[in-house]
Amino acid sequence: MRSKTFFAFVAPSLALMLIFIALPLVSVFMQSFELRQQVFQQVKTQTCTPGFLKQVCTEEIKNLPVLDVQGRPVEESKFVGLDVYRTILQPSAVLKAFSADGGGLQALLNIDFYKALRFTLTFTLVTLPLVIFLGLAVALAVNNTLASIRGPLIFVSLLPFIVTPVIGALSIRWLFVGDGIMTAFLNWATGSQITMFSRGWTIELLMLFYRVWSVAPFAFVIFYAGLQTVDKDTLESAIVDGASRFERLRYVVIPHLMPLIVFVALIHLMDAYRVFDEVIGFSSQGYRISLQWLTYDYLIPDNSGNRSISRAAASSMLTMIGIVIMLMPLLRRTWREHRRMR
């Protein structure tokens, strides 16, 4: 393919990536080093009340926001360096938490960022192996069933992946919250009063279960497609040599599917580290928050209408750095395999 033809094909995609990804990313990066505040001015006001002989007037000085010609509050930005990151990470509070009488890990988890980081890492690292294992198990089961029933099995297996994430999370929540069907069943089965949404760890278990249930079908589709390309001659040779089913899976199937396993792991890590739908769907803000939800919370206007845009930008950058760190081992493995195959 000629260079001009290749450039003509990729230029629209590159332009869109530059406009909608690169430039906003640079803007967020710059905003994380700036502090945006409303401009206020002191205004002297006089309030008079009727008196018996004469009016009684009092003067007071109020701080009122400066408005532009369109009536919107005027904001100013100033460069503060790493102060915004220090406000979020609170290094002094971290050192104090691990001092002699600082409270240790429990005190650290009282800080919003580390509370969100703990849940995000747990959510990502726990669901990753479960999604891969369950997706591979379902793919192997479907691949070994009769061809006449594979279609219905594939359809049923894909249903959780079709459901919108927020709707699925709300559905699971309604089953367990209050007097939901599953809560009533658990109360009847155990003979005790169970409230799944009164404790943080029970909510976290439901969120982990929902993520595995909703994402495993994606892994199943990828692995099932990969199983169709396994070399039949190699499998038959392994059977002739006396290899058991587990040995064929370990030494033939899994090495063949390893690039797909890495691909599923990459996609899941990027998606799970940005967990947000589950926090909203399960209304877990009082118990469990994620880094993505923390960024969203910074953008909610406070009582005076201000939004912590600089903190939201810094939180977004920290989230992106976390994703890169999580992906580095898999990317290095992929790069090594690519160089070895060349």
pLDDT digits (tens, 9 = 90+) for 73-84: 777 778 888 899
Residues 105 and 184 both lie in one domain:
no
335 assigned to some structural domain: yes
In a 10 Å sphere around its CB, with 0-12 CB exposed, 13-18 middle and 19+ buried, how is residue 28 labelled?
middle
Residue 52: pLDDT band with limits 50, 70, 90:
low
Residue 67 has pLDDT above 80, yes or no: no
Residue 51: phi and psi, rounded to 5, are: -115, -175
Which runs of consecutive H residues, i.e. helices, occur in 72-199? 83-89, 91-97, 104-108, 112-143, 147-162, 165-176, 181-190
How far apart (Å, rounded) are the C-alpha atoms in residues 294 and 274? 11
The pLDDT score that the predictor gives to residue 118 is 94
pLDDT one-digit tens code per residue, 110-137 = 889 999 999 999 999 999 999 999 999 9
The H-or-E segment that residue 297 falls in is helix 291-298
277 assigned to some structural domain: yes
The H-or-E segment that residue 79 falls in is strand 75-79
pLDDT one-digit tens code per residue, 181-234 = 888 888 888 887 878 888 888 899 999 999 999 999 999 999 999 998 888 888
Residues 215 and 91 both lie in one domain:
no
Residues 82 and 214 both lie in one domain:
no
Residues 231 and 104 both lie in one domain:
no
Residue 265 has pLDDT above 90, yes or no: yes
Cα Rg of the chain, angstroms:
28
The boundaries of the domain holding residue 208 are 112-341
122 assigned to some structural domain: yes
43 assigned to some structural domain: no
State which amino acid sits at residue 152: P
Residue 48 has pLDDT above 80, yes or no: no
pLDDT one-digit tens code per residue, 6-45 = 788 888 888 998 998 889 889 999 989 988 777 777 777 7
266 assigned to some structural domain: yes
The pLDDT score that the predictor gives to residue 329 is 87
Residues 169 and 296 both lie in one domain:
yes
Q: Structurally, how many domains does the chain consist of?
A: 2
Distances (CA, A) of 20 to 182, 190, 253, 321: 44, 53, 40, 19
48 assigned to some structural domain: no
**What is the distance of C-alpha 196 from the center of its chain?**
23
What is the pTM for the complete model shown?
0.83
Residues 94 and 174 both lie in one domain:
no
Residue 251: pLDDT band with limits 50, 70, 90:
confident
**Cβ–Cβ < 8 Å for 224, 143:** yes
Residue 4: pLDDT band with limits 50, 70, 90:
confident
Residues 92 and 212 both lie in one domain:
no
Residues 221 and 274 both lie in one domain:
yes
71 assigned to some structural domain: no
Residue 88 has pLDDT above 80, yes or no: yes
Pick the closest to residue 39 from 4, 11, 66 (CA basis): 66
Residues 187 and 279 both lie in one domain:
yes
The H-or-E segment that residue 65 falls in is strand 56-65
Residue 305 has pLDDT above 70, yes or no: no
Pick the closest to residue 295 from 278, 281, 275 (CA basis): 275
DSSP code per residue over 40-57:
EEEEEEEEEE--SSS-EE
Residue 304 has pLDDT above 70, yes or no: no
- For the chain, the residue count is 342
How far apart (Å, rounded) are the C-alpha atoms in residues 264 and 260? 6
Which tokens hold the place of 230? Answer: 């396994």
| Average confidence score pLDDT of the chain | 86
Q: What angle do CA 315, 316, 317 make, to 5 degrees?
A: 90
The pLDDT score that the predictor gives to residue 51 is 66
The pLDDT score that the predictor gives to residue 158 is 85
The pLDDT score that the predictor gives to residue 1 is 58
The residue out of 110, 132, 158 marking a domain boundary is 110
Instruction: Output 193 or 252, whichever has higher pLDDT.
Output: 252
Residues 128 and 95 both lie in one domain:
no
Residues 142 and 227 both lie in one domain:
yes
Residue 342: pLDDT band with limits 50, 70, 90:
low
Percent of the chain topping pLDDT 70: 97
Could you count the other beta carbons within 10 Å of the beta carbon of residue 46? 8
Which tokens hold the place of 167? Answer: 């709707």
12 assigned to some structural domain: no
